[in-house]
Structure 1
Amino acid sequence: MHTEHDWITTPLTADLLRGALDVERTEHGLLPHRLPARARAQNTDPQLAMAEAQPSGVRLAFRTAATAVELDTLRTKREYTGFPPRPDGLYDLLVDGRPAGQASATGGNVLTVDLTTWESEFAPGPAGTVRFDGLPGGDKDVEIWLPHNESTELVALRTDAPVTPLPDRGRRVWLHHGSSISHGSDGASPTAVWPSIAALRGGVELINLGLGGSAMLDPFTARAMRDTPADLISVKVGINLVNRDAMRLRAFGPAVHGFLDTIREGHPDTPLLLVSPLHCAIHEDTPGPTAPDARELAEGRLLFEAMGDPAQTPTGALTLTVIRDELSRIVRRRAADDPNLHYLDGLDLYGAADAAALPLPDHVHPDAATHRHIGARFHELAFTGGGPFAAE
């Protein structure tokens, strides 16, 4: 902690957070969650537990005249055995809605995962400090977007002027659910993953329920969406069901209907956009599961391959092509009674031609440039013109 300012410490409370559905008091401070406690209690999957505690789209939001801000945090960073350390998670600073800085925290916990056995080892570490200085004087809206890929316990907030929670600016709330691609995968920073890009361009408040590896049509996620106030809702589904070879076509269709039915219990008339999978060459016509390519792992490279048998598709194995066809059919059938239900083909966000220009580095996840492309395309198709989220 620096001492050249007369610091004011503001208690960290839920009313300073946007984008979280729950907060947990820990021995260190405040841990944002993107699923409520009831949903977490029904989950048994460590992947989902890790993903929902990574605060993609979550930000501290306050009004202040401060010119300097310090935030003490305790991060948990993932590493993979045999691979170089992953880049540190970034904190993005916005002042009155405009980018004003980036920083990373030091210290923190490290979770090391062996991709061949999926065993993990946890090493505790100390809290670190994120500092932003040289902010413009006068009252302003300040947002600190937390790293989308590191769980982050908020320990202390210090400023050189008083802080009040950011008032409601009347912006619409967009609630989105999807896979690791929506979570952020290899996006450059928390405001540079595709849902954040689309939300900032569209002038809406984002609640990002992109959950890495966990867009599985879980009923507890549908109930969380049902119970969350929102003006706009989107659900992007498909790739994780193939990744884990989680169900066959017979179960998939009713599960989608049930997921949508649950959301509609709380949001009967809200614009609801069902988004099908982006192009992913390895799974367009080959079922899952998805697994790391063992030969590439031995060389220190992480590339994924499809392990399923295309011959099983006629008996109900899911491919991305099958899923797109079924989602389109479901929306056509339901839209007769639900005029606020819409469909967006994921190939319009990222198709085969896009893949040729912007290939997926590991065969599954987009890189930073591709996140920018998808975010801009989603904004264009959903938020502008006659899109389902266009402002009236």
Structure 2
Amino acid sequence: MRPLREKLPLGKKPPRTRGNCTVKRRRLEEEAVIAQLDPESDSDLHLPLHLRDPEAQDKVHAFNRAVNLPFFCRFCAARVKTKGARTNHERACEKNAAAKRGKMARGGLVNSSNTCYMNSVVQALSSSNRFLKELLKARYESDSPPSPSLRLAQSLQEQLRKLFFNERDGDGDGPMELKLDGVFKADNASSSFEPGRQEDASEFLGFLFSQLAALEDDTPVKLSFGGLRSTYNLCQMCSATYSESQHEAFMWFLDCEGSESESVGSMVARAWESESAEFPHQCPACGEEGASCRRIEEILEPPQTLVLVLNRFVVNDLGETRKNDAKFYCDEALELTTPANVVVKYKVYAAVVHRGEAIHNGHYYALISKKEKWKRADDEDVSSTSKEALNRLQPPDSAYILFYRLTKRTDDGGTLAYSEKQIKRY
């Protein structure tokens, strides 16, 4: 049954368009609020309209009946004719809101007492899709009082979840304050960081990796950033190998003493070659005294996500730290071959940039990407940029930590192990 229309004065017609309905309804609501508002108090601002002025409710409802739009959506307040239309409208609004929350919203982080080194690293980790997926689905629970590393994992998980879904503790969409437990020395005996002091971003990233990797076997850090290196001795007399050891590597440090024309790709290729050094030693196999042996290091397993740290800070003979501001070309894509003839391809997606002359002063910010869209996250300020910005940096700004994600892997003999399609979900 259609609702009865309010009787209007002779010669007047109800507004026919949706726009006029909205304008007139808002005007009625604003008039009611202004008439009821106490100029000496704002305690009534949060109350619904019908609690502020019952007469205003009657006016609005009468107007809605007059234009035959008695129902409204509780999400966007849009007026519809029937309850069924309202239900469908609310479902669509709820679905759109969930999709909007799920998008990678790039929010800023507050710099509270020299925390830019934390903010830049966390922003880069928020773009690490593989790590983010593994971390958000991990369960960090403990019946006993949690250890500092567990509290750090729980707080990092919560902060990255808020950053991913663009959630805020308070009202508004302003920058979020980064709250990580178990970072500073007062809360964690294995930490050397002090509040209010500028720290090295690579040391902070390495600290995060070591704390998270110590919790369990298959941690998000090991699954996302873990690579495997092998070290052994080779006797030059009998070709026997001994003292073999394997260790995981989450970060790869590159020597920056080369020329400015050198690219990051060439530095990585040189670092991934079999390194060896000769030294005299007694071979346990042949027992030859003073036999010439070679210490060899090889890459056994390349990581899913390659984290490269450019060693820009060098300590001179006087104990002073200087920064190498040389510009190295940061390759957008890398193609590397391990000693086991495994060909891997990587693509850059984030970078931590240092501005300044020394390791413990200056400023850090991040360049991050998602779906080919690059942004510059400089504490509270997040702005759009391009992928070419990484190679347009001018001193004192220089790339310090580079993040590459695996796009393709081919094992020995041409067997395709991973492809772009298989790892697209990350």
Larger Rg: 2
- TM-score normalized with structure 2 length: 0.26
